[in-house]
Amino acid sequence: VECAKISHYAIEKHKVVITVSAVAGVTAELIEIIDLAKNQKPRLVKVRLNDLEAQHMTILKGILGSHSYVNQIWQKEILPRFDNLRTILHGASLVGDITPKTEAKICSFGEKIACIFMRYALRDLNVRAQIVKAEKIIRTDSRYLEANLYLRNSFSACKKVLKPLLGRGIIPIIPGFVAKDTHGDNTLLGRGGSDFTAAIVAMAVKAAKIEIWTDVNGIMSADPRIVPDAFSWQELDLGIMSEMAYSGVKIVHPRSIELAIQKDIPVYVFNTFNRVFRGTKVDNSKTSGVKGIVSTSGNVLFNLKNPNMLDEIGFIADVTDIVQKEQISIDVCATSETSFSFSIKDANGSEKLLKALSDTCEVTMLRNVAKVCIIGNDITHDPSLFSTIFKIFAEQNIQIYTLSVSASRNNITFMIDDNDCKQTVNALHGKLISQKGE
């Protein structure tokens, strides 16, 4: 309802296209249910689906109040989707197998239901709105769970479908995160992909701006759960926001920022539940100094040593080939004359990767590693900053596993023990970021 009110206010001043995410926690819940199905737990799958169904019925009643047609809408538009979902997951739980194509179909459920909710919430505000299936306008390859966008085809489809609706004063409501491959199958744009959908649409219709409404006060100098003194920026440049997103800030999808940069479309990040907060404006204006300390925990660090690596051609290529075959993405990496270190974000598959790499060289694996990124424009060219950073690490007695400096010159990344993360991030924030954004 609150999202509909926000949209209604914008509609009074502008032509608007709405991209909708799933209800908070729903996609994560679906992923957990998928895991239960893979482990052949049909009873638990049934219980969790019943809970999910009850949650959505409560939301629908909250939107429509005591209207007599609540049950009619539920029976006609929502229950059949739950029945279909239940059939798919029950069958999968009996055999313990779900293909990526089926998983993509299941995970798109939350956004599609949320669109129905948004349409009825807007209807109560006398707003003419129409759901547009994302499959009609967002085209990708067949990497079902994190598909690559076919930009030109998507732009063409967006213009063809959306512009006539906007011309007739109808507000398109699009499920974010969801797309379609050339075979007509559901694909996904990766976790957090709803704002990526918004950026694709914004570029296609030549939007003046992108507004992202989330549950926090815009873009902050650090995670407030880790740094009590973290604050919100009023303005930030797109390049720094992109670096933050790739480093682990989950507020904005990294690829949405890339698209916005290409077309110089400003992005505004607001808090749905704090309308007093004026938001963070993200555009192409350059800012100076350190703007963020971004940290992620639970990384895995691989250290590879090979005495024969000295003057040898192709060793790192061999390593990356092995990683690619395991379908794992390398995050941070560093190299020396006879060693190569890299981290991965997800511990899943790390043991299998360790075994595969052990056939090539001497390798050790460290779990529970934190990535700490210091982010700001051209900071890698500031010798005094490095001096301050290393002094902080020395004062805190923090062991550094590896150090990486980005080619963009905007990111200095350290890998340290998870147990040292909180004190390190607080110390860095206190010394390196002083200009309040509020």
pLDDT at 329: 86
- The type of residue at 89 is L
Nearest alpha carbon to residue 151 among 95, 201, 77, 81: 201
Beta strand extents in 57-175 (DSSP E only): 129-131, 171-175
Q: Tell me if 191 sits within 8 A of 27, measured CB to CB.
A: yes
| pLDDT for the residue numbered 349 | 83
Give the C-alpha distances (Å, rounded to integers) separating 430 from 225, 297, 379: 15, 20, 17
* pLDDT for the residue numbered 337: 73
Non-local (6+) Cβ contacts of 59 within 8 A are 23, 117
CA 60 to chain centre: 26
Residue 250 has a pLDDT of: 77
Burial 368-395 (b: 16+ CB within 10 A, else e): ebbbbbbbbbebbebeebbeebeebbee
In a 10 Å sphere around its CB, with 0-12 CB exposed, 13-18 middle and 19+ buried, how is residue 33 labelled? buried
Contact 270, 217 (CB under 8 A): no
Backbone φ and ψ for 149, nearest 5 degrees, come out as -75, 135
From residue 133, alpha-carbon distances to 70, 226, 241 in Å are 23, 39, 29
Per-residue pLDDT of the chain (438 residues; tens, 9 = 90+): 788 888 888 888 889 999 999 998 999 999 999 999 999 999 999 999 999 999 999 999 999 886 778 999 999 999 999 999 999 999 999 999 999 999 999 999 999 999 999 999 999 899 999 999 999 999 999 999 999 999 999 999 999 999 999 999 999 999 999 999 999 999 999 877 898 999 999 999 999 999 999 888 999 999 999 999 999 999 998 889 889 988 888 778 777 878 888 888 999 999 988 888 899 998 888 888 999 999 999 999 999 987 666 566 677 888 889 998 888 889 999 887 778 899 998 777 889 999 999 988 899 999 999 999 999 999 999 999 999 999 999 999 999 999 999 888 999 999 999 999 999 999 999 999 975 544
DSSP E strand stretches across 201-314: 210-214, 235-237, 267-271, 280-283, 290-305
What pLDDT was estimated at residue 58? 94
**pLDDT on residue 311:** 62
What lies within 8 Å, CB to CB, of 12 at 6+ separation is none
| Cβ atoms of residues 427 and 392 within 8 Å | yes
How far CA 116 is from CA of 48, 55, 66, 131, 305, in Å, comes to 22, 15, 18, 8, 55
> φ, ψ for residue 26 (rounded to 5)?
-70, -45
Looking at residue 1, what is its pLDDT? Answer: 78
Residue 208 has a pLDDT of 93
